[in-house]
Amino acid sequence: MLFEITHLDELDSTNEYLKRIESNIAVEEQKAYVVYTDYQTNGRGAGTNKWFSNKGENLLCSFIFKPKVSPNEQFIISKITSLALIDLLAHFNIKASIKWPNDILVNKKKIAGILIENSIVATQIISCIIGVGLNVNQAFFDPVLNATSMHCQTKQNYNIRNVLDIFLNKFNTWYSYIEHKNILNSVYFKNLFGTDGFYQYKSKNDFFEAKIVDVDEQGTLKLRDENNNEFEFKFKEVELII
């Protein structure tokens, strides 16, 4: 995939910006249009959450393209993006893991979040916007956020554009496995937090301990408790307590 990269000093949200310009650009399979910014005035997280980031310190980017997957396997795009972030961090000697569905953790703290928004018409994804917020050089976070950054982990400072280039490179590598779902699924599972033992989860009306046994192509999380009962959860139906 080719990437056409634009930098803008300030935006409301890189995802929202791409949605606004979507009708003026040709959304293609082999080319993605990337935008990154120093500051978002209305950065968006999953659901109704907001994404806060100090000016000029972190990677705030989104890209739009037409993915080669059908709507019923759309979670594969999240898996690819998560693996690209894991590899990008490994490139800088930072060991990270994936917190289902869309977070990246280092030492049980959040270092990155992914916001994917697909436009589906009939049985096709006509465009996919992948937004990534990666904490790079920010040194301090509100403790309630339980967040960290590359700088907090290594005490180094990084060039944001270089971090973006490496991320897109890693994305391309994993995207080339799109037809090899078994490889993507197994590498994703290996990098997933919570597969090696029992952790605490909170569902609508319950706290319980469970272990992850699978995440399928729709993104459904399969958990098993200590009595060998299996449970399935969609987004927002369950939360890992870390």
What 3-state class would DSSP assign to 133? strand
Give me the count of residues in the chain. Answer: 242
Q: Which residues bind ligand BTN (CB under 6 A)?
A: 13-15, 40, 43-46, 49, 51, 60-62, 102-103, 113-115, 131-133
Q: Choose between 60 and 125: whose C-beta lies nearer to ligand BTN.
A: 60
Closest CB 110 distance from ligand BTN, rounded Å:
7
Q: Choose between 15 and 149: whose C-beta lies nearer to ligand BTN.
A: 15
DSSP bridge partners of 121 = 124
Closest CB 42 distance from ligand BTN, rounded Å:
7
Preceding omega of 67 cis (within 30 degrees of 0): no
Roughly what angle, to the nearest 10 degrees, separates helices 160-175 and 75-91?
A: 130
For residues 121 and 147, what is the distance between their CA atoms, to the nearest angstrom? 36
Q: Choose between 62 and 153: whose C-beta lies nearer to ligand BTN.
A: 62
Nearest to 201 by CA among 159, 165, 163, 233: 233
Q: Choose between 34 and 115: whose C-beta lies nearer to ligand BTN.
A: 115
Closest CB 9 distance from ligand BTN, rounded Å:
15
Closest CB 46 distance from ligand BTN, rounded Å:
4
